[in-house]
Structure formats: structure tokens, C-alpha cells
Chain A
Amino acid sequence: MKLDSMYQDIILDHYKNPHGKGLRDGDAEVHHVNPTCGDEITLRVRLDGGKVADVSYEGQGCSISQASASVLNELLVGRELDDAVRIQEAFLELMQSKGQAEPDEDVLEDAVAFAGVSKYPARVKCALLSWMAWKDATAKALSEKETA
């Protein structure tokens, strides 16, 4: 069945057992919503030198948006910030590919499971919700560190 291309087991696993869920201390917090469906996420980023020390989040939404936040946590926490930004960009590119991209598993790891989601325009925003929130929170954390 075609749906399986969207609801990969990896996605359902992350949905049922999310990584790093819950809010912990952070340098910056953002709240993003997907106005078309009401998905919401509150996300905090903690930076430690040039590293992503923690990404914590709380939210409500569909399996795609929740699993995506879990994958993000797994993928980005502990990375050098430059690497994390590259992964975020690769994920964004994959989600905008309309199912045409051949994702690089070395870079995206579990996030390659979202390739199928990119064929469903209504769901791309669900997958990107936490990633856009992370980008926003990281920029906020960096600018606050600069001014501090």
C-alpha cells in the first residue's frame, strides 16, 4: 500500500517512542504553529561553545510532526553547530523535493524515512515544523549570546 511510503516504520517508531521529549533548560525558546492543521511545538535550544548541547521540545500534532521532532533531537544533539545546520539544510531540501530526491543516508540517518512524506504537499509543513523551530531558536540563542 502506498501509504507505507509515508508512514515508514521508522516514523511510527519515533512517534510512539519519541526521543528527548519534554522541556529542559535552554538558551532560547520558540513556539511555532502550523496554522493549517493546528500542530504546535515549543522548542528550546541549549548551545555549549560550538555544539548543540540539547534540543528539548513539547508539542501536539500528527505522527509526522511528532516523529520529525524526535528524529531532529536524535540527529542534532551533540553535533557541532555547523554540522547541525548542514543536516537541517539537507532535510529541508529533501522535504521540498516532491519525492524526487535521493536522500544521503550518511547525513540524514533516520530522517531519510521522511522522503515519502515529501510527496504529500499538505504534510510537508508537518515534517518541517520542528526543524524550522530549531533553526529559529538557534538563531535566537546565538544572537542572545552575542548581546550578552
Chain B
Amino acid sequence: MTQLPGLLPGLLDTEAIRKDFPVLDRQVHEGHKLVYLDNAATSQKPRQVLDALNEYYERHNANVHRGVHVLAEEATALYEGARDKVAAFVNAPSRDEVIFTKNASESLNLVANMLGWADEPYRVDRDTEIVITEMEHHSNIVPWQLLAQRTGAQLKWFGLTDEGRLDLSEIDRVITERTKVVSFTLVSNIMGTVNPVEQIVRRAQEVGALVVVDASQAAPHMVLDVQALQADFVAFTGHKMCGPTGIGVLWGRQELLEDLPPFLGGGEMIETVSMSSSTYAPAPHKFEAGTPPIAQAVGLGAAVDYLTSIGMERIARHEHAITEYAVRRLKEVPDLRIIGPATAEDRGAAISFTLGDIHPHDVGQVLDEQGIAVRVGHHCARPVCLRYGIPATTRASFYLYSTPAEVDALVDGLEHVRNFFG
């Protein structure tokens, strides 16, 4: 995909890419071209993924890991093949470290429950601490609150600076010898902030704490290398990266997955079962009780193929260019305040803002009428809104198919919003 003349450097050939996404052709509200800027909530799906889902159901559908018939073998090969693809996508040392879940929330709940039921040295109990941050999605807050309440562990967190970054100035007092686990997001879903993983991991390793990284907003947008991150667990979801809903991933280091106890029990996750006790299958199956989301995993595999064929580095460059342009254009809008980093440096392609006193719900409604889809509300990150003293934000978030023209449409749309409520 060559760079088009006269456009921003680093842009992908979105004209070609958009042909892969049927929904982007839609018109809404009587002839308005759809401008889809809600990619941090979920991405659209390319035809390649839709075809993979269809083909799976039309030609191969069967349950996996059982049965000797041809469909069962094909379904198993496709499901396990998707695991291989995901493992390669995140540079996992072993395919057996990739656990399929239904979404990132389930992945994070799974880790929290592994640690809650674990024996020493992993056990989280009343003498230990759990560390998170104020910019987490609720899915990386609530599981840890539950774990803290159930075990008596203390929940601590990093606060935020006025610029929308983690305040790590007291890192040695937040992460201490008592800290058992540090869980944080790689990229903020509400502010777009990219967090300094290395600094946090270094301190966590000093005190022997496990590191959990929520990569839900990273995996779709940048090269994700679990070995380079040096984390112990990495969670993300399929539907934000061109895959279907209902499929998520938890990557975990092999020795941890061997040591830690299962959470959900059921079919697939066992080795032998008697009426009084059971032994468990090795990871990843130990953590995949019941019939898994087979078609969804296959769809995620197709999504990984699709993203890889374009290249995650090029996608990241494209989004950086779009984000840079969007930040610049949004700053031209009177009364607009960006919540989060004010430049495109170390930030992802989600931009939250307020527009004077106009409530985000009203902003979103008037934008929608012009065909522009944004997210409004607290984005499942209410503590961030509390931190900045705002009830909610409007969020525009971009992806590999987003164009500068769509940024322009947003800016024009906001002008219309201001006139409407002015």
C-alpha cells in the first residue's frame, strides 16, 4: 500500500482497505455516509473474517477435542490452528501459553481467581497488596476489588497526572515487598495514554510481584510482543482487532500456568475424573472448561492473518498519523478540551474530549444524526472522569481504515453541535 501523494506520511491505502469492510459502505440517517469512530469500543470486521466464520459453520462445524469423525478433526485443527496464529501474533514462546476466553474481562477475572485460590508463593491474602492504576477499564478494577474483598488483601493504585499519564513518582511506595500482583493497562481506553511498561515491570520484578498487562487497546493497534513486555500475564479481546465478539485471550508464562490452579471446572479441562476427585489437563486446556468459542477462535485467527498481512508496524504508523492530525484539528474547535495527552506522542488512537458545557450525550446524538459514530459516557473508566472532575467525555477512536477526511467530518460535526446548542 503506497503512500498517496499529498497526504500525511505513514498513511495506509485506506481506499483499498475499506473495500474489505462491508459495513463501512453503509449510509445512515437518510444518506449520511457512515463515519465510524468508535473503534476503541469494537472494530468493524473485514470480509476475510466474515468468510472464515461462514466457512467454518458451512463446512467444518463440530465440537473439538473429541470424536474421531472428519468434521471433529477439522474443527479441532482449525481451533488449535487459531491458537498457533495468536501465539505467533504476540510472539509467545509456546502455543500452550495461549488460553482462549470469551473476552478480556474474563481473562482478567481468570487471573484474579487463579491467584485467589493459589498456594504459596502466588497466593493473594490479607498480608499482601494488589496494585492497579486509576486509568483502568472497569474490567481491570472490579476483579481486583473482588479479590481484595474476598482475601483481605489491600488494593492500591497509581494516580494520574494532570496530563493524563500515570503518576509514578512514588512508585517505590506503591509497589512494595508486600505487593503480590501489579495489573495495568498498556493503552488507556479512555485517554489513549501509552503507559511506560518497562519502569513498572522493573519495580514489580524487584519485589517479586506478578505483572498483568491489559492489552485490549494495544493488541489491535501495535506490535504486541509478550516476551519484550516481560509481563507474566497479558489479556486482550478479539472483537477490537477485527475478530468476532465472544473470543478473548489470556497469555500466561508456562510455569505459572502449570503451577496455578484452574478456576472454571468442567469438560475439556480434565485428565481423569472420579466421583471424589479429578486431575487436570495441562495448560492451556486446564483453563478452558466446556465447549470453547470455536467459530469465534477461528474468526480471530482470520483476523490475525488479516492484520499480519497489512503489518502491525504499518497499522501503528497509520494510526499515529491520523491521531496527530486529529489532535491538531480538534484543537481548532473552540471550547474543546482534550482529556488525556495533548499530543500524539506515546498515545494511542483514542481521543476523549469535552465540548464546553454541552453534555457528551448530546454531542454524540447530534454527531450521530450526521452519520458520525462516537462513544459518549464514562467509557467503563469512571475513576478517570472523577479524577478530572467531569461527568463524561466524548471519545473518537480510530483504526486502520480511518481517514483524514473522517477527522474533518468529525470537526465539522462538532461545529454543528456547537451551533445546535449554542
A and B physically associate = yes
- A38's partner among B362, B392, B420 (CB-CB below 8 A) is B392
A147 in the interface, Cβ–Cβ < 8 Å? no
Using A7-B420, A37-B377, A61-B361 as known contacts, say yes or no to A1 and B369 having CB atoms under 8 A apart: yes
B382 in the interface, Cβ–Cβ < 8 Å? yes
B366 in the interface, Cβ–Cβ < 8 Å? yes
Encoded as 1 (CB less than 8 Å from any B CB) or 0, chain A from 76 to 119 comes to 00000000000000000000000000000000000000000000
With a cutoff of 8 Å between Cβ atoms, the chain A residues found around residue B421 in the complex are 12, 63
B359 in the interface, Cβ–Cβ < 8 Å? yes
Using A38-B391, A126-B361 as known contacts, say yes or no to A2 and B29 having CB atoms under 8 A apart: yes
Give the interface size bracket for B toward A. 10 to 19
B139 in the interface, Cβ–Cβ < 8 Å? no
Using A2-B30, A7-B420, A63-B359 as known contacts, say yes or no to A38 and B369 having CB atoms under 8 A apart: no
Encoded as 1 (CB less than 8 Å from any A CB) or 0, chain B from 386 to 407 comes to 0000011000000000000000
- Asked if B361 and A62 make an inter-chain contact with CB atoms under 8 angstroms apart, the answer reads yes
- A61's partner among B359, B365, B369, B420 (CB-CB below 8 A) is B359
- Which of A36, A62, A120 has most chain B Cβ within 10 Å? A62
Interchain CA distance A37-B361 in the complex, whole Å: 7
- Asked if A38 and B365 make an inter-chain contact with CB atoms under 8 angstroms apart, the answer reads no
B240 in the interface, Cβ–Cβ < 8 Å? no
A3 in the interface, Cβ–Cβ < 8 Å? yes
Number of A-B pairs whose CB atoms are under 8 Å? 48
For the complex, would chain B's binding face be called helix, strand, loop or mixed by DSSP majority? helix
- Which of B29, B365, B366, B392 has most chain A Cβ within 10 Å? B365
Interchain CA distance A2-B368 in the complex, whole Å: 11
A6 in the interface, Cβ–Cβ < 8 Å? yes
B385 in the interface, Cβ–Cβ < 8 Å? yes
With a cutoff of 8 Å between Cβ atoms, the chain A residues found around residue B359 in the complex are 60-63, 66
Using A7-B420, A60-B391, A61-B391 as known contacts, say yes or no to A39 and B369 having CB atoms under 8 A apart: no
Residue of A nearest to B369 (CB): A3
CB distance from A103 to the nearest CB of B (A): 21
Encoded as 1 (CB less than 8 Å from any A CB) or 0, chain B from 344 to 360 comes to 00000000000000011
Interchain CA distance A60-B376 in the complex, whole Å: 15
B378 in the interface, Cβ–Cβ < 8 Å? yes
- Which of A6, A38, A39, A64 has most chain B Cβ within 10 Å? A38
CB distance from B123 to the nearest CB of A (A): 33
Interchain CA distance A39-B385 in the complex, whole Å: 12
Interchain CA distance A62-B420 in the complex, whole Å: 14
- What is the interface size of chain A, counting residues whose CB is below 8 A from a CB of the partner? 21
- Asked if A38 and B378 make an inter-chain contact with CB atoms under 8 angstroms apart, the answer reads yes
CB distance from B180 to the nearest CB of A (A): 31
For the complex, would chain A's binding face be called helix, strand, loop or mixed by DSSP majority? mixed
CB distance from B24 to the nearest CB of A (A): 22
Interchain CA distance A87-B66 in the complex, whole Å: 61
- Which of B359, B392, B421 has most chain A Cβ within 10 Å? B359
Residue of B nearest to A117 (CB): B365
A51 in the interface, Cβ–Cβ < 8 Å? no
- Which of B30, B362, B366, B392 has most chain A Cβ within 10 Å? B362
Encoded as 1 (CB less than 8 Å from any B CB) or 0, chain A from 1 to 38 comes to 11100110000100000000000000000000000111
Interchain CA distance A37-B360 in the complex, whole Å: 9
Encoded as 1 (CB less than 8 Å from any B CB) or 0, chain A from 115 to 141 comes to 000001001001000000000000000
With a cutoff of 8 Å between Cβ atoms, the chain B residues found around residue A120 in the complex are 365
Residue of A nearest to B29 (CB): A2
With a cutoff of 8 Å between Cβ atoms, the chain B residues found around residue A54 in the complex are none
- B366's partner among A3, A38, A123 (CB-CB below 8 A) is A3
CB distance from B352 to the nearest CB of A (A): 13
- A123's partner among B361, B369, B392 (CB-CB below 8 A) is B361
With a cutoff of 8 Å between Cβ atoms, the chain A residues found around residue B378 in the complex are 37-38
- B392's partner among A3, A37, A63 (CB-CB below 8 A) is A37
CB distance from A48 to the nearest CB of B (A): 33
Using A2-B29, A37-B376, A61-B359 as known contacts, say yes or no to A123 and B391 having CB atoms under 8 A apart: no
Interchain CA distance A120-B376 in the complex, whole Å: 15
- A39's partner among B29, B30, B361, B365 (CB-CB below 8 A) is B361
With a cutoff of 8 Å between Cβ atoms, the chain A residues found around residue B382 in the complex are 38
- Asked if B361 and A64 make an inter-chain contact with CB atoms under 8 angstroms apart, the answer reads yes
With a cutoff of 8 Å between Cβ atoms, the chain B residues found around residue A60 in the complex are 359, 391
CB distance from A15 to the nearest CB of B (A): 8
Residue of A nearest to B377 (CB): A37
CB distance from A110 to the nearest CB of B (A): 19
Top 9 nearest A-B pairs (CB, nearest first) are: A62-B361, A62-B359, A37-B377, A38-B392, A38-B378, A3-B369, A60-B391, A38-B391, A63-B362
Q: What are 9 A-B pairs with beta-carbon distances under 8 A?
A: A1-B369, A7-B420, A38-B385, A38-B391, A60-B391, A61-B361, A62-B362, A66-B359, A120-B365
**Apart from A2-B30, A3-B369, A62-B361, 6 more pairs, CB < 8 Å:** A37-B360, A38-B382, A40-B391, A60-B359, A60-B391, A123-B361
